[in-house]
Structure 1
Amino acid sequence: MEIFANFIEFKGQEFGVSFARDISERKREEEEKACVLNEIEKLKNELELQNEYLQGEVVELQAFGDVIGSSPALETILRQIEMVAPTDASSLITGESGTGKELIAHEIHNRSSRSKHTMVRVNCASIPRELYESEFFGHVKGAFTGAVRDRVGRFELANQGTLFLDEIGEIPLDLQSKLLRVLQEGTFERVGDEKTRNVNVRIIAATNRDLKGEVERGNFREDLYYRLNVFPIEVPPLRKRVEDIPLLADYFFKRYAKKIKKEAPQLTKANVLQLTNYDWPGNVRELQNVIERSVIISQGGKMKFDFPKSKSEMKPTPDYDGGRKEFQDQKILTFAEVKKLDQDNIVKALKKTSGKVFGEGGAAQILEVPPTTLLSRMKKLDI
């Protein structure tokens, strides 16, 4: 109720007059309007956060293309991707740093029924311990010092899509139970909020650690390990799939040459020998960086690679003496020649071991590949 009072003069006398009107309807409309504006502001904040995240993803995804390579190991991985992608099963991708585990995760997501929704990546190794819950589940305004507005967590951002937990082995043990609850029940609460929220998320995790060993040492929950490890995929290091190196190098050469508006160089037999006889401790990521530097510093179409020259890091080759001797044969290597080079290398290893493939001193051990991979490669090369 709203009341107005005033004085009026009538025939020389003053009279007090009051007016009253019911404003409850107007108050109700104003309250509803305030609620709507508040909800719009919350949605705006959430959209800003999602947009900020997705713009970051666009930048990162520029580093990804189709899976490149022709090695038996990569063919096995592609078959595994085709098997697991249409399902909602959790996948645990293992392998050394730089082998392309995130690319495998993207391939699984892109070939799944969730591909129209977002794949959200969380680097578990980069999150401060005190912010894990906020990062995963979000928080409400005032939940802690610095929480000046509501924040959407990664699980909500990934709803109906895929959540990629990179470096999953870095999550502190006491926080793993909270992650397990979401995986099992699909429910959680934002930090500082009692409201239980539901999500429908597919989980793909990756690690360069031996998680089974971490379980045995008491550093990782066994129930969480088995929840994640429904469909394991192991990505071998680049040194164990040398057949992929020429194709990857060619891809990176063309990509970075285009980036700096330079004519793409051609790989020569000498280049391939250099690249395939290096151990690549940093795997595909290191190869990518070496190629980018090479494109920048090389002149006149001649490739110059900048990697360590110590004996422990470079394997001996018949045509290369650690960088002091120049390659004489600058003939461009065809794919047929790459195949022949691979074939000759395997035959040489078999001759050295008198045809022994398996076990100690076998050709597989010399070539640093699993025996099954070597047998598959021999069949493909008609050896």
Structure 2
Amino acid sequence: MSDNKSRIMTQKQRQISKAFEVKRNVKIIPAKKDIIENQNNKLHVAAYCRVSTFDDSQSGSFELQKQSYLEKINTNPNWILAGIYADQGTSGTSTRKRTQFMKMIEDCRQGKIDLILVKSVSRFARNQLDFIGTSRELKSLPHPVGIYIEDINLNTLDTNSEFILGILAIVAQGESEQKSAAITWSIIERFKKGLPIIPTHNLLGYTKDKFGRVIIDKSESKVVKFIYDSYINGTSVTEIANQLMKRKISTVTGLERWSNSSIYHILRNEKYKGEVVMQKTFTVDCFSHKSRKNNGEKTQYILEHGIPSIISDKKWELTQKLLKYPNCKSKSTKVISMPRLYIKRIKSGKLRNYIVLDPSWKPKEIKEVFK
């Protein structure tokens, strides 16, 4: 086997040797000049810019980017403006929401663009790997399109661009992992000291005062008590949901429809007895940002009496027993009175603490609301 292989190699070597010994007529067709370097053909140049919010601080930067690109392209005698593509108020993590970005890529496929100007990789894609994927696609088009990254002075049509981007990807990944590790460490240290992170915009029965402290929302807490009392006294989860919808009491997120799962979530939430379990979920990695339920993979921290309780310990423990052994529930249901006047406040956003008025309220009830 090895003798045959060495014999084949020897034959190849002889072929190469003869090719240099015998003069052959080979016609050479010169390569076309690189599209970026060919100054005889004017380039159709586009620019892409993006900011993630509509804040005034970013809107100025957004407009500045667009105007500076317009001036840069229009003042270059070898360039023709192919368009300024700009997305405002969109994240870099999803291209589907970046309509202008998608339009620009489609225009590239149709041969309308030769070169794209962009401030940085992060403006163009969520990470270096995504950027490399897009640049490869544009480079492989019948009419290749280059991306010029201003902050590192790199054109993706250059022969060594992918090598440089590969190095940058490794560096960026290391930085992202370090930042993620630092943030995770600080959160865990907070948990160890009994400093939980409790958002209340999706937590029925609670809100925050002007100092950021978690306090009981008196109106919403009545709904929580109604749910617990009804379940303890034999009412099914489906019937509880139907009663809430019948009274037009919306969910904590403002939905008119209550699902069985949302009722079960309230019945199982230990926060209603004042206890806070920290690190119920954890982030898988700093790139996908996927969250996973903590089934013992990570340490958990429990803060007793962490927030004001709406439900007593005794009632909460009884509820957990009934959830585990539903056959223990009493068959004869006792009617639990619904909250007489439910006041819904907006819990987040610019309209935070505004009251949602119910058209069915009578003048006497409205006066009671605004006492």
Which structure: greater helix fraction? Answer: 1
User: Same-fold call, TM > 0.5?
Assistant: no
TM range (shorter): under 0.3
- TM-score between both structures, scaled by the size of structure 2: 0.24
- TM-score between both structures, scaled by the size of structure 1: 0.24
Higher relative contact order (CA 8 A, sep 6+): 1
Point out the structure with max Rg over C-alpha: 2
